[in-house]
Chain A
Amino acid sequence: MQSSGQMVVASRLSDGRVVFLGTGAQWVEDLQLGALARHKDEGEALLQSARKAEAANQVVEAYLITVETIAGKRRATDWRESIRACGPTVRTDLLTHTS
């Protein structure tokens, strides 16, 4: 089964790490654990929440990405975002997550 939705990705201010907006305005490092917006309105709400986190100097450069879920596993549809979420393709010893 395949479905798609949106998530917010950003860089954490203190260490620059790639983070995804989770539920309850928490930021998580694993794309699988972030909040998934099924509709445009939900996506906008996530982005609004992210703007607050930017204003509060938690994260920088937040934006929406599209993710698809295949067999229960999410991945970013955009190749660049997929590399951001998973880490470089060339230093697999440095992968941040196996997703």
Chain B
Amino acid sequence: MYRYDEFDHTLVAERVAVFRRQVERRLTGDITEDQFKPLRLPNGLYLQLHAYMLRINVPYGCLSSRQLRKLAFIARRFDRGFGHFTTRQNIQFNWIRLDEAPDILAELADVEMNTMQSSGNCVRNITADQFAGRARDEIEDPRPWCELIRQWSILHPEFGYLPRKFKIAVTGAASDRAAVKFHDVGLYLRRNAEGVIGFEVIVGGGQGRTPYVGLTIREWLAKEDLFSYLEAILRIYNLGGRRDNPNKARIKIQVNALGIDEFRRLVEEEWAEIKASPLLNVDPAEVARITAYFAPPAWEDLPEETVALDRLRKAQPAFDAWYRANVVGHRTPGYAIVNLSLKSPGIAPGDLTAEQMDRVADLADRFSLGELRVSHRQNLVFTDVRQKELHELWTELARISLATANIGTLTDIVACPGLDFCSLANARAIPVAQDISRHFSDAATLQDIGELTINISGCMNACGHHHVGHIGILGVEKKGQEFYQLTLGGSSAEDAALGERLGRAISADEVPAAIEALVARYKSLRSGDERFLDTWRRVGIEPFQDAVYGEGVTPRREVA
């Protein structure tokens, strides 16, 4: 993974020093809260329901064991012993003291981490495929490009005060595991007709109140034009994005208002002006320097362990279930990618205790070359596990409740912190996830249901990505009570789609039964090995409405 050199270290250290001074000015009353808020937010510090919350960047989801141990230390020393991984591959701590925040940033800087631009109206953490560099369906590792974009975006003097936040995701794989089409800018590494790898550029995707699937602004962009093209997009957005209403200020609104063709025309016109600028060149030597950090590790020459694994899987159904759900093919023989589920029954999705962090760091050292990844579905990944050690790893993970065999299944639920923690939320999200995960805890049942994603958001801001869950659940508040609206048919993968509202909102108590009814209807309707999403696409909404609201009951359609 990327390592800071002295210049990266200096940049972060200077930023920490600036923030320390700003915090001091606030604590002594030199500046007001109104003045301080725009200073603390771009350092990832929010004021939430119970205390300050600190959001720490995990750049494109890559973590070292050393960094994870530091996070465990921070959880213990400065928080309440656990952290929460988010849908943007970041980690959040919930009980931070303002007067200790600068010390935390200094601790993070020691392990080459920071909180820069994890909030605020600027370019946020760059996200990527959690299997980057290891996936079999990848044409090129996106991480060097993520790091190049990260550096280009950090403290960019022109784009620190955009109309609204700006999120960028990159993947080099055929399967989209990074929700690329739901970002302000999404990048797919693609070959053009001549076989040269460049980027397909997507713009204007997003969720929130007004969800859009992103549109292709450019089919193929040469790598050397990456910065100039990004800069052109950001410029058109900075100048033309709405600033009168924060709810309409994202680039998706601008793209939709102008139409993609007109937006593209503006971008290309601006790009023509800056394309040849030496200020924006993608320097081949710098690309090579950064790419070297992501060079494949010295994998051992190992055989595929098919026979031995088959024997173990037959002998132990629990291991077999875990293998089938959580282990993914690796591009190198004898190795495997392993998902660590942060969704064991009854746990808040994405939560990890300090003790688990320390153990996971040890296991990463022992089984996965000291590195791990965070996925946007709030799980962890070991990227380089020897197949012959899978069983041993499974045993170790089970001891710390991280071997739940449910990746990609109904209980691999994505959920935002909701009203239990977040000051923007209208309803709780975590208890709903807990109820569902307790209700469907049998691995065989989950395997029979197959791929089915559930996403829960506690408000319209959609941090739980409910719009793109195969089943989406949105918490709403009515007369002081929590209710939940179901949407069906969303997808954040390469077959990107927005979910459709099923009908009237239901109470929290009714959610598990409703999921049960949807699943039962799917099982009765599916043909062959159709996924839930495929069946939904084939049969449409009505059978599922009947399942939840009763035969012949026309659900009252509600206005958003």
Interface residues in chain A, defined as those with a beta carbon under 8 Å from any beta carbon in chain B? 11, 13-18, 54, 56-57, 60-61, 77-80, 83-84, 87-91, 94, 96
B140 at interface by CB-CB < 8 Å: no
Q: Complex: how many Å from CA A60 to CA B29? A: 12
Interface residues of B in 86-128 (CB under 8 A from A): 95-99
B420 nearest in chain A by CB position: A88
Given contacts A15-B97, A78-B480, contact A90 B27 (CB under 8 A): no
Q: A16-B50, A57-B28, A79-B480 are in contact. List 20 more A-B contacts (CB 8 A).
A: A11-B51, A13-B33, A14-B97, A14-B98, A14-B99, A15-B52, A16-B48, A16-B95, A18-B50, A18-B51, A57-B29, A61-B33, A61-B47, A79-B419, A84-B49, A87-B50, A88-B50, A89-B420, A90-B431, A91-B420
| A91–B348 CB distance below 8 A | yes
Contact A79–B348 (Cβ < 8 Å)? no
Q: Is B159 an interface residue (CB 8 A)?
A: no
11 inter-chain pairs at a CB distance below 8 angstroms, sorted by A residue, are A14-B27, A14-B97, A17-B51, A61-B47, A79-B419, A79-B481, A83-B419, A88-B50, A90-B348, A90-B428, A90-B434
CB contacts between A and B, total, < 8 Å: 71
CB distance from B274 to the nearest CB of A (A): 42
A17 close to B50 (CB less than 8 A): yes
The answer to whether residues A11 and B47 also contact, given A83-B420, A91-B348 and a CB cut-off of 8 A, is yes
What's the minimum C-beta distance from B421 to chain A, rounded to whole angstroms? 6
Residues of chain B with a CB closer than 8 A to A13's CB: 26-27, 33, 98
Shortest distance in angstroms between A4's beta carbon and chain B's nearest beta carbon?
14
Residues of A within 8 A of B99 (CB): 14-15
B416 to chain A minimum Cβ distance, whole angstroms, is 13
Residue of A nearest to B53 (CB): A16
Question: Given A13-B27, A57-B27, A79-B482, are A18 and B49 also a contact pair (CB < 8 Å)?
Answer: yes
Determine the chain B residues whose CB is within 8 A of the CB of A80 once the complex forms. Answer: 49, 419
| Chain A residue at minimum C-beta to C-beta distance from B28 | A57
Contacts of B480 in A (CB 8 A): 77-79
Measured CB to CB, the closest approach of chain B to A62, in angstroms, equals: 11
Cβ of B375 to closest chain A Cβ, rounded Å: 22
> What is the bound-complex CA distance between A16 and B33, given in angstroms?
12
Q: How far is the CB of B32 from chain A (nearest CB, A)?
A: 8
Query: What residues on A are CB-neighbors of B348 within 8 Å?
Result: 90-91
Q: Is the CB of A89 within 8 A of B98?
A: no
Task: Find chain B residues with CB under 8 A from A94 CB.
Answer: 80
A27-B420 Cα distance, complex, nearest whole Å: 23
> Cβ of B482 and Cβ of A16 under 8 Å apart?
no
- Report which residue of A16, A80, A84, A89 has the largest number of chain B beta carbons within 10 angstroms of its beta carbon: A16
- The contact size tier of chain B is 20 to 34
Asked if B434 contacts A16 (CB within 8 A), the reply is no
CB distance from A30 to the nearest CB of B (A): 14
A6 to B80, CA, bound (A): 31
Residues of A contacting B: mostly? loop
Shortest Cβ distance from B428 into A: residue: A89
Distance from B127 Cβ to chain A, minimum over Cβ atoms (Å): 26
- The residue in chain A whose Cβ has the minimal distance to the Cβ of B477 is A79
State in angstroms the CA–CA spacing of A79 and B481 once bound together.
Answer: 8
**Does B226 interact with chain A (Cβ within 8 Å)?**
no
Q: For the complex, what is the distance from the CA of A80 to the CA of B459, rounded to whole Å?
A: 13
Q: Which residues of B contact A54 (CB under 8 A)?
A: 33
B430 CB–A CB distance under 8 Å: yes
Given contacts A18-B50, A84-B49, contact A60 B27 (CB under 8 A): no
CA distance A11 to B45 in the complex (A): 14
Q: Is the CB of B51 within 8 A of A16?
A: yes
Residues of A within 8 A of B49 (CB): 18, 80, 83-84
Shortest CB-to-CB span from A58 to chain B, Å, is 10
- Inter-chain contacts of B98 with A (CB < 8 A): 13-16
B50's partner among A57, A84, A90 (CB-CB below 8 A) is A84
CA distance A85 to B419 in the complex (A): 13
Q: Which residues from 47 to 62 on chain B have a C-beta closer than 8 Å to any C-beta of chain A?
A: 47-52
| B263 CB, min distance to chain A CBs, angstroms | 38
Docked Cα-Cα span, A61 to B47, in Å, equals 10
List of A residues within 8 angstroms of B27 by Cβ = 13-14, 57
Q: Are A60 and B420 in contact (CB under 8 A)?
A: no
* B window 123-143: CB within 8 A of A: none
Residues of B within 8 A of A78 (CB): 480
**Residues of A with C-beta under 8 A to B420:** 83, 88-91
**Which of chain B's residues has its CB closest to A58's CB?**
B29
Chain B residues with Cβ under 8 A from A87's Cβ?
50
Nearest CB on B from A91, distance (A): 7
Give the contacts of B407-438 with A (CB-CB under 8 A). 419-421, 428, 430-431, 434
A77 cross-chain contacts in B, Cβ below 8 A: 480
Those of B163-200 within 8 Å (CB) of chain A: none
With contact pairs A89-B420, A90-B431 given, residues A16 and B29 touching in the complex (Cβ less than 8 Å): no
Nearest-neighbor residue (CB-CB) of A94 within chain B: B80
